[in-house]
Chain A
Amino acid sequence: MFHRLAGVLTALALTVLAPGVTTVAAQQTLTLYTSQPQQDAQRTVDAFMAAHPNIRVEWVRDGTTQLMARLRAEFAAGNPRPDVLLIADSVTMESLKAENRLLAYPEANVEGYPAGVHDPQRFWFGTKLITTGIVVNRAAPVRPTSWADLLRPDLRGQIVMPSPAVSGAAMIDIAAKAQAPGLGWDYFRRLAENRVRPTGGNGDVMRQVAGGERLYGIIVDFLPLREQARGVPVEFIFPREGVSAISEPVAILRSARNVEAAKRFVDFLISRPGQELASAMGYMPAMTGVAPPATFAGVTSVSLLPFDAAAALRDDAMIRRQIREIFGE
C-alpha cells in the first residue's frame, strides 16, 4: 500500500513540478510587486527574463492600495520583500518617497521622455499613460458621452466603478475629478445618489460590464479597448469633460536586496523594447515616438483633466474621509 501510494504521489509531484524545473538554473532573484493585470504582469516578466536569463523574477499582483497594505505590514515586520514596485500612480510613489522608502536611480536613461513623466530626482519613472473613462455594454440603451451623463436617472443602478480601496487608478480618478471645476465632491454625491457603488478593481468592473451584470462602468482605458478587440461586446468612451491619467510608475525600494537586478528591470521598462511591449499589450506607451497600440486606432485627441498631484498627496486623509462619507466603507 505504502509503495503504491508513494508511486502515485511521486508521479503527481513530478507533474506538478515539471514546469518549474526549467527555472532552477537561474542565479539571482528579483522580487516585484505590481498592480498590472495578471497576464500583463506575466508577459512583462517573461520578456524581462528572456532579456536577462540570469535573473529570475518572483512577483505578486494585487490592487495598488492592497499592495501598499501588504508592503506596510512587511515594513512593520522589518522584512520588506520586494526589490521593485510597479504600481498605478505617482502619488503613492511620492508618499513612499516622503517616507524615505525609495532608492533614487539618477543614472537611468530617460531620453525620449517628456518632463513630468518621471520624478525630477529620479526616484520613480512613469512607464505608460493610462486614462480612466467609461465602458458601455453594447446592449445598453444609452451611450453616455460625458461624466455628467452618468447622473441620468435612466442609468440609475446600472453603473459600476472601481473601488479606491483596491485600485490606485480609481483613487487618482476620484482625486482629479474632486479637484475639477464643474465636477467636485458634489459630482460624487450625486453619483452615489444614482446608486453608483465602488466594488473591486478595474478587472472586476470589466467583468461586470462584459458579462452584462451592469451596463456602464468607470474604468481604465486599455482593458475595454483590448476586450473589445477580442470580441467582447463592449465599447470604451473618453468623456467630453476630459479624463484623469496615471503613469504606472516603477521604483526601486531602499530596502531592495538585489539593487542591480532592480535597476535592470527599470532600464527594461523605460527602454524602447520595453515601451514597444507595453504598446503591444494595449497600453499607451509613455515614451514619445513609440507607436500607440492598434486598439487606440480610432482615438484622435483626448483632453486630460488638470491634476494637482502635490495637493492630492497633501489632502490624502481628507480625500479618503470624503470617499468614506459619500460611499460608505
Chain B
Amino acid sequence: MTLGPTFRRANDTSFVEAVLIGFLCLFVAALIVWPMVRLALEAIAPGGTPTLAPMFETLREAATWRAAWRSFETSLVGALGAVALGGAFAFLVALTDIRAKLALVFCFMLPMMVPPAVTALSWATLAGPASPLLKAVGLAPPPGSDNPMYSAGGIMLLLAIQHAPLAFLVLRAGLRAIPRELVEAGRLSGAGTAEIARSIVAPILWPSIAAALALAFVSALGNFGIPAILGIGERYYVLPTLIYVRLSSQGPTVLTQAAILSLIVAAIGVAAVMLQLFATRRASMRLAARPGAPLALNLGRWRLLVEAAAWTLLVVILVLPLLALIATALVPAYGVPLSSATATLENFREVLLRQAATIRAFANSFWLSVGAAVVLAALALPLGYALVWKRSRLAAAIATAADVPYALPGVVLAIAMILVFLRPLPIIDLSLYGTVWLIFVAYLARFFVLAAKPVIAGFQQLDPRLDEAARVAGAGFVMRARTILVPVLAPVAIAGGLLVFLTAFNELTVSALLWSAGSETLGVVIFNLEDSGLPTLAAAISVISVAVMFAAMGLLQAISKRLPAGVLPWGNDR
C-alpha cells in the first residue's frame, strides 16, 4: 500500500476500464474474428463436414481462373497507372517549386473520395455515343460505336485514377525523404543526373514505390463499383463481381463457392503484400540522419507549362466526368441531347420526392453511416487509451484484428457476415439476415479502423502524465475520462467519425450483397438504377451523394487545424 504512483500505473485497472476492454474484446471477437474463422471453415468444411471437394470443384472451373486472372490483370495495370499518375503529382508537389500546391493536392485527392460506382457512371456517361456532354458540343461518336469505357481498358483506367491519390500519399512521403546532401554529394563527385537517379534516388525511393504499388493493387483488387458498372454488362467478371453475379442469380446454394472465391481474392491480396515486404526486405536504407532539407528543384521557364499540364489533367480526370454526370442528371431520358429546351430537374424530383426506394436509401445510408460513426468513435477512445497509454497487449491485438476487415476486399467481409448471420442467432433466436442491422454490423466491423487511427494518433501526441497527474490527484477513471480524455480528444474522435461517415455513406461493396427489402443503401440504388437502364436517375442520386460528400469533406477541412498530421486521407500534414 506504500507503492508509488508509477508502480500503480502498471496494475491498477479500474472496473470501468476492465469492462470497456472486455466489451472491445467481445466486439472484435464476435464481429471480426469469428466471421473470418467461419469463412475459412466454410471453405474446408461446408456445413460442418470436412471436405475439400467444393474447393477442388471451384478451382477446376475455368470461370474461376478467368476471373482471378482478370482481377490480377486489371488491378496490376490499375496500380501501375496509379503509381505513375500519383508519382508524377507527388514529384511536382514534393520536389518542385510549382505554385498553388495546396489546391492542387486537394483537387488531386478528390477522386479517392468519390464512390467508385459514381466514378464509373460519370466516365461511362462522359464517353460513348450517348454522352449528353459530347452531344451538346457535337463531338459524340456516331451511333453504333462502342462506349470505350465498358471494357477491360476502361476498368483499368478508372482503377488507376481512383487509386492514384493513395499512391500519391505514399510517394510524396518517400520523395520528401530524399536528402539533399546526398544528391549534392553525388553531384560534387561528378555523377550525372542518370547516375544520381540510379544509384542514389532509386534505392531510397524503391521501398516507397513498392509500398504504393502494393497498396494500390490491394485496393483495386477489392474494388467492386468500377468493374460492376463497367464489366458486368459486358460479362467481363473479376472475382468480386463474379461472386456478386453468382450470389444474386443463384442465391445461397452457391454460398460455399462464394466463400472459396472470396478467399481466393484475399489470398491474392495477401500474396501481393508479402511480395512487397519480400522485395523491399533488404532495401531498407538507413539514412544517417533526418534530411536537413528536402530536395528542391527549380522548374525555371518550364514552370508555367508544367502547371498548365497538371491542371489540364485535373480537369480531365475530375471536372469533365462530374460535368457529364450532371448533364446526364439533367436530360429527360437517356439518349435525348441536352439543351436549354430539354434540360429538366425531373430526375432530381423523382429521386428526392417520388421514388420510395431512393428516399429510403438516403435515410438508410444516412442513419447507417451516422450510427456507425458514433458507435465507432466511442469505441475508438477506450481502444486508444488502452493501446497507447496503458500499452495493453490485448488492445494491440484488437487494433491488429480491426485492420483486417478494412484491408481485405469488402466482398470477403460480406460473405463472412452472410455465413454468420444467415441463420437465426442461437439463444436469442433473432435473424439479422434480411434486415438493415446486418449492414450496420458489417459497417461496424469494416470501418472500425478508420475511427481508431486518428484517435490512436491523438493519444500518441498527448502526454500520459496528464492522466497520471489527475490520477495522483485522486480522480477515478470516469472522472478522468470526462474531464481530460473526451474534451481533449473530441476533435480526433469527431474526425474519425466523419471519416467513417464519409466512407459508409457511399459504400456499395458490402451492402450490394447484404441489402434486402427496405434496407437499400445509396450505393445499392445507384447501382440498381444504372443496372435497370435508368442512368438519368442514377446520375441524379450520384450528384446529390457527391455533394453530401464534399460537404462532409469541407467540415473535416474546417477542423483540420486541430487534428494531428496525417489524419485526413487527403493529407493535412502540409
Chain A residues with a Cβ under 8 A of chain B: 1-2, 5, 8-9, 12-13, 16-17, 19-20, 31, 33, 37-39, 42, 45-46, 58-63, 65-66, 68-74, 76-79, 81-82, 137, 139-140, 158, 165-166, 197, 199-207, 210-215, 223, 227, 230-234, 328-329
Are B360 and A205 touching (Cβ within 8 A)?
Answer: no
User: Which listed residue, A1, A62, A204, A231, touches B559 by the CB 8 Å rule?
Assistant: A1
User: Which listed residue, B251, B252, B424, B537, touches A38 by the CB 8 Å rule?
Assistant: B537
Are A230 and B130 touching (Cβ within 8 A)?
Answer: no
Find the B residue at minimum CB distance from A163: B235
Are A232 and B251 touching (Cβ within 8 A)?
Answer: no
18 contacts between A and B (CB under 8 A): A1-B559, A2-B494, A13-B367, A19-B352, A39-B350, A39-B534, A68-B251, A79-B431, A81-B516, A200-B232, A203-B531, A203-B533, A207-B335, A211-B147, A213-B150, A214-B144, A234-B335, A329-B235
How many pairs of residues, A versus B, come closer than 8 Å at their CB atoms? 193
Find the B residue at minimum CB distance from A82: B517
Alpha-carbon gap, A8 to B516, bound state (A): 30
Q: Knowing A58-B517, A66-B249, say if A5 contacts B494 (CB, 8 Å).
A: yes
Is B334 located at the chain interface by the 8 A CB criterion? Answer: yes
A interface footprint on B401-443 (CB within 8 Å = 1, 0 otherwise): 0000000000000000000001110000001011000000000
Find the A residue at minimum CB distance from B491: A1
Kindly provide the distance from the CB of B490 to the nearest chain A CB, expressed in whole angstroms: 6
Alpha-carbon gap, A202 to B533, bound state (A): 8
Kindly provide the distance from the CB of B385 to the nearest chain A CB, expressed in whole angstroms: 19
Are B532 and A38 touching (Cβ within 8 A)?
Answer: yes
Alpha-carbon gap, A200 to B529, bound state (A): 12
Kindly provide the distance from the CB of A207 to the nearest chain B CB, expressed in whole angstroms: 4
Find the B residue at minimum CB distance from A81: B517
Q: Knowing A199-B233, A230-B333, say if A215 contacts B251 (CB, 8 Å).
A: no
Q: Knowing A9-B370, A60-B516, A207-B334, say if A78 contacts B359 (CB, 8 Å).
A: no
Is B312 located at the chain interface by the 8 A CB criterion? Answer: no
Q: A77-B422, A210-B130, A233-B335 are in contact. List 13 more A-B contacts (CB 8 A).
A: A20-B359, A38-B355, A38-B357, A42-B357, A46-B354, A59-B517, A61-B532, A68-B251, A77-B252, A204-B233, A207-B535, A230-B332, A231-B336
User: Which listed residue, B63, B144, B232, B433, touches A77 by the CB 8 Å rule?
Assistant: B433
Are B356 and A42 touching (Cβ within 8 A)?
Answer: yes
In this complex, the member of B235, B491, B533 whose beta carbon has the largest number of chain A beta carbons within 10 angstroms is B533
Contacts of B342 in A (CB 8 A): 231
Are B434 and A81 touching (Cβ within 8 A)?
Answer: yes
Alpha-carbon gap, A240 to B283, bound state (A): 72
Alpha-carbon gap, A13 to B245, bound state (A): 34
Are B147 and A206 touching (Cβ within 8 A)?
Answer: no
Kindly identify, within residues 519 to 574 of chain B, every residue whose CB is under 8 Å from any CB belonging to chain A: 520, 528-529, 531-535, 537, 555, 559
Is B181 located at the chain interface by the 8 A CB criterion? Answer: no
Find the B residue at minimum CB distance from A214: B144
Kindly provide the distance from the CB of B187 to the nearest chain A CB, expressed in whole angstroms: 50
Are A212 and B130 touching (Cβ within 8 A)?
Answer: yes
Top 10 nearest A-B pairs by Cβ distance?
A203-B533, A211-B130, A212-B143, A210-B335, A212-B129, A139-B143, A69-B251, A207-B533, A203-B532, A72-B251
User: Which listed residue, A20, A31, A139, A206, touches B142 by the CB 8 Å rule?
Assistant: A139
Find the A residue at minimum CB distance from B233: A199
Contacts of B535 in A (CB 8 A): 207
Alpha-carbon gap, A212 to B359, bound state (A): 31
Is B366 located at the chain interface by the 8 A CB criterion? Answer: yes
Kindly identify, within residues 446 to 478 of chain B, every residue whose CB is under 8 Å from any CB belonging to chain A: none
Are A69 and B356 touching (Cβ within 8 A)?
Answer: no
Is B234 located at the chain interface by the 8 A CB criterion? Answer: yes
Are B366 and A13 touching (Cβ within 8 A)?
Answer: yes
Is B518 located at the chain interface by the 8 A CB criterion? Answer: yes
Are A211 and B129 touching (Cβ within 8 A)?
Answer: yes
Alpha-carbon gap, A69 to B367, bound state (A): 28
In this complex, the member of A37, A66, A78, A207 whose beta carbon has the largest number of chain B beta carbons within 10 angstroms is A207
Contacts of B534 in A (CB 8 A): 37-39, 203, 207
Alpha-carbon gap, A191 to B235, bound state (A): 17
User: Which listed residue, B232, B336, B362, B424, touches A78 by the CB 8 Å rule?
Assistant: B424
Are B249 and A166 touching (Cβ within 8 A)?
Answer: yes
Kindly provide the distance from the CB of A268 to the nearest chain B CB, expressed in whole angstroms: 17
User: Which listed residue, B333, B350, B359, B433, touches A79 by the CB 8 Å rule?
Assistant: B433
Kindly identify, within residues 238 to 282 of chain B, every residue whose CB is under 8 Å from any CB belonging to chain A: 245, 247-253
Are B333 and A227 touching (Cβ within 8 A)?
Answer: yes
Find the A residue at minimum CB distance from B140: A212
Is B128 located at the chain interface by the 8 A CB criterion? Answer: yes
Kindly provide the distance from the CB of A53 to the nearest chain B CB, expressed in whole angstroms: 15
Kindly provide the distance from the CB of A161 to the nearest chain B CB, expressed in whole angstroms: 12
Are A39 and B355 touching (Cβ within 8 A)?
Answer: yes
Contacts of B433 in A (CB 8 A): 74, 77, 79
Contacts of A12 in B (CB 8 A): 366
Contacts of A33 in B (CB 8 A): 517
Q: Knowing A38-B529, A165-B249, say if A59 contacts B357 (CB, 8 Å).
A: yes
Are A20 and B533 touching (Cβ within 8 A)?
Answer: no
Kindly provide the distance from the CB of A62 to the nearest chain B CB, expressed in whole angstroms: 7
Alpha-carbon gap, A242 to B474, bound state (A): 89
Alpha-carbon gap, A314 to B448, bound state (A): 50
Is B45 located at the chain interface by the 8 A CB criterion? Answer: no
User: Which listed residue, B249, B350, B434, touches A69 by the CB 8 Å rule?
Assistant: B249
Are A45 and B422 touching (Cβ within 8 A)?
Answer: no
